[in-house]
């Protein structure tokens, strides 16, 4: 019996990984379509990104710069899959029954660090500059994000994502964190942080194609670039899911036997809405300079997040 249970769990895990990848690629395609419509273009078909990945993975020549360069491929895909599997998706968390928000934050760093290593190993100066920008961006957007995260943790008195989701799903939509005034503010700050996490405009500074020739990816081609696209697709799902788990109750609206189907659909709709929002912002804003982005996050966003944290602290102390 136990073996069967494990087998089922592994099957579901694989299914989740595949669904996560496919959803990410699909969203990226739809995102391109949305941007095209904003530009008054026709845009590529929604399945364009599947074709792109297939093409990249079937390239005949693949150029590497040594074994450290290859670490990028290995670490990025495995790290981001790991993160995805530790997140509650539609209220269901498969691994680590009491998974932890700090753990997820640090797991998210594994693929980025892997890619940074690969980019650095290529020896291209553009890659070095790109990674520098990516890391400074990370330092920038993490401050407001971390403050909002702590506000949530203090309010719910837990650091476990699963518990946060559970406590928000008691009364369906009414108990979502975003319905409370302090968390509305926090959600705004976190959404801006999400924009930076997704590296969409105005925060696509690290991969600026015309300034630094797409930054860290400058030497990536073939299977390496393909794995980067897969990583980006899964990261998109993982990061939006993190936001949904924190503020939108993980998309949990129903309880019962087959509730997970409804929850899953709601989760999908919510992450799509988040992604569409970030794409719309991206399509209508030009790029910041890195100092401007840093100032934006550490001055305005951090103050907004801090207001929500103080508000929550006063609520909790009472």
Residue 276 burial class via C-beta count within 10 angstroms: exposed 0-12, middle 13-18, buried 19 and up = middle
The residue from 62, 254, 262, 277 that contacts other proteins (CB under 8 A) is 62
Identify the bridge partners of residue 92 per DSSP, sorted by sequence position: 89
* Minimum CB distance to other proteins, residue 98 (Å): 4
* Minimum CB distance to other proteins, residue 185 (Å): 15
Per-residue x/- marks for other proteins, 231-270, CB under 8 A? Answer: ----------------------------------------
Q: Contact region for other proteins (CB under 8 A) — 60-68, 165-173, 193-201, 273-281?
A: 60-68
Contact 271, 26 (CB under 8 A): no
* Minimum CB distance to other proteins, residue 288 (Å): 11
* Minimum CB distance to other proteins, residue 95 (Å): 6
CB atoms within 10 A of CB 170: 11
Please report, as residue ranges, which positions from 150 to 189 form the binding site for other proteins (by CB under 8 A): 150, 153-154, 157-160, 163
* Minimum CB distance to other proteins, residue 139 (Å): 5
Is 143 a binding residue for other proteins by CB under 8 A? The answer is: yes
Please report, as residue ranges, which positions from 12 to 41 form the binding site for other proteins (by CB under 8 A): 17, 32, 36, 39-41
User: How many chain residues touch other proteins (CB under 8 A)?
Assistant: 108
Q: Contact region for other proteins (CB under 8 A) — 146-154, 167-175, 245-253, 280-288?
A: 146-154
The residue from 91, 128, 202, 251 that contacts other proteins (CB under 8 A) is 128
Is 219 a binding residue for other proteins by CB under 8 A? The answer is: yes
Token representation of residue 239: 């990061």
Please report, as residue ranges, which positions from 197 to 216 form the binding site for other proteins (by CB under 8 A): 209-210, 213-214
Reduced to 3 states, what is the DSSP secondary structure of residue 39?
Answer: coil
Query: Buried (b) or exposed (e) across 106-144, using 16+ Cβ within 10 A?
Result: ebbebbbbbbbbbbbbbebebbbbbbbbbeebeebbbbb
Contact 112, 138 (CB under 8 A): yes
Reduced to 3 states, what is the DSSP secondary structure of residue 100?
Answer: strand
The residue from 28, 81, 233, 304 that contacts other proteins (CB under 8 A) is 81
C-alpha distances (whole Å) from 91 to each of 172, 248, 250, 264, 268 are: 12, 11, 6, 8, 12
The residue from 76, 195, 240, 263 that contacts other proteins (CB under 8 A) is 76
* Minimum CB distance to other proteins, residue 212 (Å): 8
Q: Which is nearer to other proteins, 212 or 266 (CB)?
A: 212
The residue from 6, 9, 15, 58 that contacts other proteins (CB under 8 A) is 58
The C-alpha angle with vertex 237 and arms to 90 and 195, in degrees rounded to 5, equals: 120
Q: Which long-range contacts (CB under 8 A, 24 or more apart) does 253-256 make?
A: 253/169, 253/172, 253/173, 254/172, 255/169
């Amino acid at each position: 019996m136990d073996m069967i249970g494990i087998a089922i769990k592994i099957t579901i895990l694989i299914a989740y990984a595949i669904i996560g990848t496919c959803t990410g690629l699909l969203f990226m395609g739809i995102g391109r379509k949305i941007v095209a419509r904003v530009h008054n273009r026709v845009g590529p078909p929604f399945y364009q990104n599947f074709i792109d990945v297939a093409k990249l993975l079937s390239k005949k020549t693949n150029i590497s710069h040594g074994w450290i360069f290859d670490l990028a491929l290995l670490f990025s895909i495995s790290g981001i899959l790991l993160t995805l599997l530790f997140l509650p998706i539609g209220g269901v968390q498969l691994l680590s029954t009491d998974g932890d928000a700090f753990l997820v934050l640090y797991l998210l760093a594994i693929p980025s660090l892997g890619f940074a290593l690969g980019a650095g190993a290529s020896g291209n100066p553009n890659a070095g500059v790109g990674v520098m920008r990516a890391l400074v961006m990370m330092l920038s957007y993490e401050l407001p994000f971390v403050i909002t995260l702590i506000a949530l943790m203090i309010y719910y008195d837990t650091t476990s994502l699963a518990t946060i989701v559970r406590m928000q799903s008691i009364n369906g939509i009414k108990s979502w964190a975003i319905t409370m005034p302090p968390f509305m503010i926090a959600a705004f700050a976190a959404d801006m942080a999400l924009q930076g996490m997704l590296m969409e405009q105005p925060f696509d500074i690290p991969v600026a194609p015309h300034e630094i020739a797409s930054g860290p990816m400058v030497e990536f081609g073939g299977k390496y670039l393909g794995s980067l696209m897969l990583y980006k697709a899964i990261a998109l799902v993982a990061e939006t899911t993190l936001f949904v788990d924190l503020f939108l109750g993980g998309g949990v609206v129903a309880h019962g036997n087959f509730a997970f189907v409804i929850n899953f659909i709601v989760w999908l709709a919510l992450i799509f809405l988040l992604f569409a929002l970030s794409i719309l912002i991206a399509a209508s804003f030009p790029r910041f300079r890195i100092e401007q982005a840093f100032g934006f996050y550490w001055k305005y966003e951090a103050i907004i997040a801090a207001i929500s944290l103080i508000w929550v602290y006063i609520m909790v102390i009472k």
